[in-house]
Amino acid sequence: MLDVSSIKSPLSRGFFICNKKPGLPYSCMIVLTINETSESFVVTLNEKRTLTSGYYLFVFTNITTKAVKTKIYNFTEDNSSYPDRFNQFDINTSVVFSGADTGEWLYNVYEQASSSNTDVTGLTEVERGLLKLNAATEFEFEKYNESTSYKQYTG
């Protein structure tokens, strides 16, 4: 069972600034589209990593529904040209977020030696942030062409 009690929610929901100042709860936002078979996202995980080889456990928690999704990446799955500066991973959102709601999600990333563990107890957190999961198609307003008639009072 996945323990999500250590995952913190945002302090403010009005806006989001991407920065690396100490003490702020989130440093970056990932933007993905649901039902995409291959998307890339960038994070900065090596700054706090202590293991030389291992795996990253990504824990995604929907802010509204508290639904939890997980994804494990091997350290070697990093596609970045400059891994000391940033880490780039590919994700299949149609698999990882299957049946999930779009909207805002929290993400927490942990380093671990196991390739299958999804329990965050005792793991070292290397990054946390916000993820915006967009719908596959944009919402469009539907305009109705009904004519409106008014009755005038003549009394």
- Domains of the chain, each with CATH number or no CATH: 29-134 (2.60.40.10)
Instruction: Catalogue the long-range contacts made by 96-99 (C-beta closer than 8 Å, 24 or more residues apart).
Output: 96/60, 96/69, 96/71, 97/32, 97/34, 97/60, 97/69, 97/133
- Say if CB 44 and CB 60 are below 8 A apart: no
What pLDDT score was predicted for residue 22? 53
Query: Mean pLDDT over residues 99-115, rounded?
Result: 96
Give the pLDDT mean for 91-120: 96
Calpha distance 87→134 (Å, rounded)? 22
Q: For residue 11, is pLDDT > 70?
A: no
Burial 81-103 (b: 16+ CB within 10 A, else e): eeeeebbebebebeebbeebebe
Return the structure tokens found at 28: 């970056």
**Quick one: pLDDT at residue 8?**
43
